[in-house]
Each structure stands twice: as structure tokens, then as C-alpha cells.
Amino acid sequence: GPAVAWRTVVGGVLNRPPLVTADSVYAAGDGAGVARLDLRTGDVRWRTDARTDRVLAVSEEFVFARDRAGNTQ
């Protein structure tokens, strides 16, 4: 099977499936917010506040996410 290249703790409950792009992994869940991780190293590049808990879509320029109140950011 595949080997583990890195592990990163982002906090909260990661109860949403990760979204993987060419250079990033977007992790999200309850109390964790949305975190963008570098695909090669696992380093956290940025993160939202904990209320934002779901990645909706990712483009070359933008990440669309939703908070617990249903607002798109």
C-alpha cells in the first residue's frame, strides 16, 4: 500500500473528506476550520477560523467554503 509521507495535526474533528489538488490538501471539519496544507511537506499554509467547516470548491485563485450558518466565503 501507499507509504505515509507526513502527518499534520490541525485540531478539531476532521469529519469531512480532504480535497486534494496538484499542490495542496484542504482539510476541514467541526472545530478545525479549513486548513490548506502543502501536499509535499504537510506544512499548514493558511487556515480559517473554526466556524468555517466545509470546502465547497477550489480554483486556481479561490477557495470557496461554507461556515456553520450556511454562509459561503
Do residues 19 and 58 make contact, with C-beta atoms less than 8 angstroms apart?
A: yes
Dihedral angle of Cα 58, 43, 11, 28, to the nearest 10 degrees:
10
pLDDT at 14: 92
* Grid cell in block for residue 37: 496544507
Q: Which of 66, 25, 55 minimizes the C-alpha distance to 10? A: 25
Do residues 52 and 66 make contact, with C-beta atoms less than 8 angstroms apart?
A: yes
CA 62, CA 49: separation in Å to the nearest integer? 17
pLDDT at 27: 96
Per-residue pLDDT of the chain (73 residues; tens, 9 = 90+): 888 999 999 999 999 999 999 999 999 999 999 999 999 999 999 999 999 999 999 998 999 999 999 999 9
pLDDT at 1: 81
